[in-house]
Amino acid sequence: MGKIVFYNELDTSQEVATLETKPINIKSGKSVQESTYGSVETQRINITEGFTIFCYKVFVHSNCFYRTDVSDSRNVHIVLSDNGKEGKLFRPNDIMIDNSGFVMFYNQHSLLEYKLPENEELNWIEIIIDDPLQLRRSLKKNSYLDGFFYSKHPMEMSTSIDECLQVEYNQIKELVQDFENQQILLKSKGFSLLNEVLLSLERQKADMGKYSQYDIQKIFTVKSLLLEDLANPPSLEFLADNSGMSISKLNRLFKVVFGKPPYSFYSDYRMEEAYRLLRMGRNTVSEVGYKLGYSNLSKFSAAFKKHHNLLPRNIKGMTSQ
């Protein structure tokens, strides 16, 4: 669970308003909250003990994030969204695999932020499982997903929605529209959705099962090292030495976990950071380019346009040079 946090355009740490996503009505599990900044509808579906689905419909017309809460509970969250390119959810600190929709797994040690676009309706579903045995019964023994429950460190992973999962996802969304009359069917479809999510993950991440949980956690360390200094990326040799892997294994496993090789991930992340810095309005295009390791402004502008399909100087809120 989390909340919609509206922030000052020039300082994302300064909250100006919030909307809670926790359902107000305990009996129906439904909540509708509105403010001058936007609105959020939440529907809670209790599938069984330790297994809950939350459906969200959000519309905002001001800068905001959806921020999750962090607790000591040992649980796993699975977020599904099919919002298109212009209405997608994304985390400023990570890169989604594509723009057609995604599935994200994360454990409760992770504090996640999804930046929500203005004046667009967004829908997403969040599955929360707080009983590890509930998930283990659906997976083969020693699945890498055990790490999401048993790791003492933040772990997140995302993959794309495939056609089979899209069908289950759409059915849940349709049934929620008539929640009062469809509760029994919703519970049945909840299990189907979870099963399809896990099957989808197995299909798309089959290679991950070849690696130990130790190696997978090392890849998260590699990611942190890769993004530590966006102006001076470390060499593959350095990353390999610090992970105890060969370069080929490092490249292969990094792509399995994050959907792309290390330097493609780094390049995309750097462009997302450039966008964030420009939107804050505290730096000129030249200053942002320099901070991110570009000594040539034209090369920075070209890379930015290729990634975002617009020039840096066209970003709303940008400081004049």
Residue with tokens 């056609």: 163
Residues 170-202 pLDDT 10s: 889 888 888 878 888 888 888 888 888 877 766
Predicted pLDDT at 85 = 55
- pLDDT higher than threshold 50 for residue 321: no
Cα–Cα distance, 284 to 312 (Å, whole number)? 9
Cα–Cα distance, 120 to 57 (Å, whole number)? 10
Report how far apart, in Å, the C-alpha atoms of 127 and of each of 48, 73, 75, 87, 259 are: 12, 15, 10, 21, 22
Cα–Cα distance, 256 to 108 (Å, whole number)? 22
Looking at the domain that runs over 2-209, which CATH code has it been given?
2.60.120.10
Give the domain ranges of the chain.
2-209, 211-321
pTM of the model: 0.66
Query: DSSP alpha helices (H): ranges in the chain?
Result: 132-136, 146-150, 163-176, 183-204, 213-226, 236-243, 247-258, 262-280, 285-291, 297-308
**CATH for 211-321, among 3.10.450.30, 3.40.50.300, 1.10.10.60, 1.10.3720.10?**
1.10.10.60
Residues 259-295 pLDDT 10s: 788 998 899 889 888 888 887 778 899 999 999 999 9
Largest CA distance in the chain: 62
Burial of 74 (0-12, 13-18, 19+ CB in 10 A): middle
* Structure tokens, 175: 């049934």
Cα–Cα distance, 321 to 273 (Å, whole number)? 19
Predicted pLDDT at 300 = 95
Task: Name which of 300, 140, 320, 283 is nearest 231 in CA terms.
Answer: 300
The pLDDT-based confidence of 225 (bands split at 50, 70, 90) is very high
* Structure tokens, 113: 């932020």
Residue 269 φ then ψ, to 5°: -65, -40
Residue 189 in 3-state DSSP? helix
Output 90 or 223, whichever has higher pLDDT: 223
Predicted pLDDT at 215 = 85
Query: Is the CB of residue 81 less than 8 Å from the CB of residue 123?
Result: yes
